[in-house]
Every structure is written in C-alpha cells, then in structure tokens.
Amino acid sequence: MAFNFNWLPLDTSSTTSSAFYEQAKSLLTAALNKSAKPPIIVDDILVDDLNLGVSAPDLEILEIGDIAEDRFRGIFRMNYAGDAFLTLRTKVQANPLNTYLSTTPAFTSPGPLVANSPLTIPVQITLSHFKLSGFVILVFSKAKGITLVFRNDPLESLKVSSTFDSIPFIANYLQKEIERQVRRIFQEDLPVAVHRLSLRLWNPEYAASLGNETTLPSRPASPSDKDTSEAPDPDTDHDPFASPSLHDGGEDVFTSNNVAHVAALHEAQKTLSLVTPKLRDVVFRAWACGSVSSTQTMWDKPALDFLLPNSGLDANGELPPDLAETRSISTAGTMTPSHGRRPSLSTSISSMSVGTTGSTTPARTPLRRKKKHRVVNLRKTQSTTDVPTTKMSDIPSTGTSTPLSETSESLPPPPPPAFSTVVNSPIQEEEAPVWGPDVKKPQPQRHFRHDSIDYESRPRIDMTAAERQRMLSELGPQVLQQAFIAKLVHEMRMRLKEEHESRAPGEKMWGVERELEQIEGDGLPAYGA
C-alpha cells in the first residue's frame, strides 16, 4: 500500500490552487480572530500569505490496526521538510505598561499620567522552514471523521522572521514564543481542527449537530495545519468512501440490477403484499446465528460477521475464501461441522448455542457472544420446542430437529457447491417481516436450510500464511463469486444503516433491533452514529 499525495493543485501557479488558498486564508483569518486575543495584540490578525510549498510530507506506514471500506486506523511516521510558509500581519502594543495596566484591576493601579500611553506598531511575522518529524496516529471512520493525533512533539525546527529582526532581543523572544505555541497547536488544536474539517467535508449533518463549529482552532496556526490535514486524504478528489446510493449507478460497487433487486426486497417489507421478491445468490443475516468464534476481534458482531465483508478482509484486502463455509447449529451441543477444518470453532459454537436463551447483557466480550434470537416462530410447530418468542435461536433450535437428519447428507462437502445449493433454494413466500427491513427469516420447512449452513469465521489477519494459501488454492475461482456476494451483502447493510439514519433517532422499528442495540452497544458499525 502506498500513499499518493496529489500536491500539484497546491502549487501556486495553477488556478485551482488560488481558490483553495483564498478559502484557506479566509478560514485561517476567521479562526485566528475568533477567540479573545492577548492584550498585547490590538488589531485583528490577518493572514497575508499562505503557501503549502511544492513538496508533500513523507509518510511511512508503521502499522495498520484496522482497515475497511469505511474505517481505517494506522500509525505513520511523518517527515516534512518542505518550503511551506505562512505570513501574518497584525498590530501590537509596544508599551508594556499599557498592556500590564489594562489587565490589572483599576483600583490598585498606580494611576500614571501618560506613562501608559499606547503605541501600536504594525508587525509582520513569517513562519517558514518547517521541519516536522513524528509519529502520527490516524483514525478514519466514515461516520465519525478523521482523528489525527501526534504521539510525540513533531516540530523539530521552525524559522520565525518578523519586522523586529533587527532587534535581537525581540527576535529571540518571538522565536521562542512562537515555537512553543506551534508545538502546543500540533498537540492540542490540530486534532480538533482536522476532525471538524473532515466532518464538514463528509458528514455535514453530524458536523452541524456539533454546533456549526466547523472552522480551524483559534490560536495562531501554521501551514502544517493544512499540511497534515491534506496528508491523510490521498483520495480527496476521488472518494471511494462515498456512500453508494441507489442513484449512483453503482459505478464500482454494485450493478444497478442488483441494487434494484435489493430495493424491491426492501420495499416489500413495507407493504401488506404477500409477494416477496426472490433473490438469487444471497445470504441472510439470520443464517449467521451463532457464527461466532473465540478468535473474533472486537470489530466483529455476532451473527453479522458474514455481513461484514470488510472485517473479514485479510491483509491483502481479499475476502476470505470460506465465506460459504457452512456450519450446522444444533440445539444441545451436537455439532456437525461441514468439514473438520475447524473443530475448535464448532465446539465453541455449540457451547454458545446452549446458553443464549438467557438474558442478554449489554457488556460485550470478545469471546462470548450472546446468540440473538431474531425471528418469531409463527409457524405451526413441528418441532419439540415451540416457543413463539422473538429470540433468535428459536428457529435454529426448532428447525434443526427435523432437518438435522438430512443435514449430513444434504451437506455438500466442499464449501462452494454447498453454498450455491443452499442459496439457490427458493425463499419462503409467506415469510412474515418481523425483523429488519431487508433480512429474511429463514424457513426450515422448505429446502431452505439455514441451519445446514455452516459459517466459519473469517480468517483473521492473524491467520498463518500457509492456512490462507491453502484456502485460496482450494477454492480457486469461487473467490470472485464470494466477493461479489459479499459486496451485495454489504450493500444491504448500508441500506439498513441509511434506513436507520433516516428514521427518528429514538424510534426502533422492530423490537429485535432494540435488543440488538442493547447487546451490541454502540460498537456496531451499521448503527454507529
């Protein structure tokens, strides 16, 4: 992975850069004058000149903690030794007695006659020759914007030249003071500014809800504000994080056909029509009940990890080849793993499926996931346990009794054929929409055997290369198909998220989702603000 800085638009010779610089200058001027200035500055601080130079900072990736289509976390080492500069112009009070007396209470003032007469001197300060090197932690989340934090003090040196250069005492004082302030800005004000700027660019509603505080911080800033705010956004022009809307045409994510299918499915939930559009080659959230494992990281949610193609991406950005792994879910611990590749997962799942009918706790642990009962069993039961609840494991528990016998035979040995077989079975038409606008309750009466699907957890990044290689070679060209399906599923998730956002914040359409939120808390990406 590499970072490509498109620094050319900032070159002052091009026309686009002048508009950018004008806006940046006015933003910076407004920010500098927003808060109360120290009494020694008697006039507004104006930005005379701002130039980000011709060289971009060097970024070296040290560590990537998390990467997905809509989030990113990484640690970089940044070096900048370019020729950016910033020129400020203001007026300062030259009489120190005047400054002192204006800040002290008048009662104890010695009451000078004219010894405190003011003298304002215009001053121009130029900050240039920035040398920055430091470690920066960058966290990007589409919903929450960019957070950029310096681990150490990045400023190595800085040249301050002003109209007082001929007076060494004042020049030294200015150099020390401004260096101190710039260090403070990097540590304290810059993360806030970058965060707000990113929100303003990508998530205006959230930014507006923060109180319209969308300008840069109030202290005298440096061009590195712009430096580092531009640095982590290599794709400002081409934004792959833009939410793929239905009117998008699905340029790089989905074909319009599939998007239309999903839309139709979504709309079908809202009508009383008994007709539900069929979808080929889909997976449903309900199939992932109990598809949790002890090796899951915090980013994975129970029963959703198959809907999170991003979380399952390995370091190469490819989908795990075992998307179609099926895993049988049984009631009381009898587990029939589709293939014995991961016996540990199966046993852990079985142990989990036993104890999930209890109350759900809001505290999440990475190891144990409460199985969510997401479907209401409205059928005339043919199974032993017939509890019409909104618990998720009901269907698996009731359904597995009958088809369990057929599970082993109908279970196809290698994953891809099994997946396609299961997927191609028609979806029950009389499914009552009880949870989620675009996820279906599985119907164990038909051929649709969700329970016969074993979902192995994604190979995590910590998977060994050998294992990964083995999986890849075994699955071969089916990886592409899985990737496509995973993207479709991702699109459904986005729709669900949009649905959530468009709804009133407190209102939850389905009781299941309320419970889901209870369990998952606020870590759920789909529901994250």
What x-and-dash track marks residues 283-322 binding another protein by CB under 8 A? ----------------------------------------
The reply on whether position 109 binds another protein by CB under 8 A is: yes
Give me the least distance between CB of 107 and another protein, in Å please: 5
Return the residue of 23, 104, 172, 347 that touches another protein, per CB under 8 A: 104
Give me the least distance between CB of 168 and another protein, in Å please: 15
Based on CB atoms, which residue is closest to another protein, 29 or 229? 29
Whether residue 250 contacts residue 259, with contact meaning beta carbons closer than 8 Å, is answered with yes
Q: Which residues of 236-273 are buried (b: 16+ CB within 10 A; e: fewer)?
A: eeeeeeeebebeeebeebbeeebbebbbebbebbeeee
Give me the least distance between CB of 18 and another protein, in Å please: 23
The reply on whether position 114 binds another protein by CB under 8 A is: yes
Token pair of 120, please? 């304002």
How far, CA to CA in Å, does 401 sit from each of 246, 340, 388, 408? 41, 22, 16, 13
**Range list of H helices, 220-331:** 224-230, 256-268
Give me the least distance between CB of 88 and another protein, in Å please: 14
d(CA 107, CA 114): 17
If binding means CB under 8 A, how many residues of this protein chain bind another protein? 25
Give me the least distance between CB of 180 and another protein, in Å please: 17
The reply on whether position 177 binds another protein by CB under 8 A is: no
Region of 112-120, 128-136, 184-192, 247-255 interacting with another protein (CB under 8 A): 112-120
The strand pair at 58-67 and 46-51 is best described as unpaired
The reply on whether position 426 binds another protein by CB under 8 A is: no
Beta strand segments in 232-359, E: none
Give me the least distance between CB of 147 and another protein, in Å please: 31
How far, CA to CA in Å, does 31 sit from each of 217, 219, 450? 6, 8, 57
> For 502, left (φ over 0), alpha (ψ -120 to 50), or beta?
alpha
Based on CB atoms, which residue is closest to another protein, 112 or 523? 112
Return the residue of 13, 35, 38, 111 that touches another protein, per CB under 8 A: 111
What does the CA dihedral 520, 521, 525, 529 come to, rounded to 10 degrees? 150
d(CA 335, CA 345): 10
Based on CB atoms, which residue is closest to another protein, 98 or 331? 98
Based on CB atoms, which residue is closest to another protein, 91 or 368? 91
Residues numbered 30 to 59 that lie near another protein (CB under 8 A) are 33, 44
Give me the least distance between CB of 30 and another protein, in Å please: 9
Which residues, including other chains, have CB under 8 Å from residue 33's CB and lie 6 or more apart? 44, 45
Which residues, including other chains, have CB under 8 Å from residue 503's CB and lie 6 or more apart? 509
Token pair of 88, please? 């400020």
The reply on whether position 26 binds another protein by CB under 8 A is: no
Token pair of 204, please? 């205006």
Give me the least distance between CB of 172 and another protein, in Å please: 14
The reply on whether position 173 binds another protein by CB under 8 A is: no
Based on CB atoms, which residue is closest to another protein, 33 or 87? 33
Give me the least distance between CB of 192 and another protein, in Å please: 23
Give me the least distance between CB of 309 and another protein, in Å please: 51
d(CA 195, CA 153): 19
In what helix (H) or strand (E) does residue 182 lie, and over which residues does it extend? helix 168-184
Based on CB atoms, which residue is closest to another protein, 93 or 443? 93
Residues numbered 116 to 135 that lie near another protein (CB under 8 A) are 116-121
d(CA 95, CA 91): 12
Based on CB atoms, which residue is closest to another protein, 118 or 355? 118
Whether residue 312 contacts residue 458, with contact meaning beta carbons closer than 8 Å, is answered with yes
The strand pair at 120-141 and 85-93 is best described as antiparallel
Based on CB atoms, which residue is closest to another protein, 106 or 504? 106
Based on CB atoms, which residue is closest to another protein, 23 or 152? 23
The reply on whether position 382 binds another protein by CB under 8 A is: no
The reply on whether position 108 binds another protein by CB under 8 A is: yes
Based on CB atoms, which residue is closest to another protein, 110 or 477? 110
Tokens 């009962």 belong to residue:
373
Give me the least distance between CB of 157 and another protein, in Å please: 27
Residues numbered 73 to 102 that lie near another protein (CB under 8 A) are 94-97, 99-100
Give me the least distance between CB of 178 and another protein, in Å please: 19
The reply on whether position 332 binds another protein by CB under 8 A is: no
Whether residue 203 contacts residue 143, with contact meaning beta carbons closer than 8 Å, is answered with yes
Based on CB atoms, which residue is closest to another protein, 120 or 163? 120
Residue 430 Cα to chain centre, angstroms: 37
Based on CB atoms, which residue is closest to another protein, 117 or 389? 117
Give me the least distance between CB of 52 and another protein, in Å please: 24
* CA distance between the termini of the chain: 29
Which residues, including other chains, have CB under 8 Å from residue 211's CB and lie 6 or more apart? none
d(CA 273, CA 45): 65
Based on CB atoms, which residue is closest to another protein, 110 or 340? 110
Q: Give me the amino acid identity at 408.
A: S
Residues near another protein (CB under 8 A): 33, 44, 94-97, 99-100, 104-105, 107-121
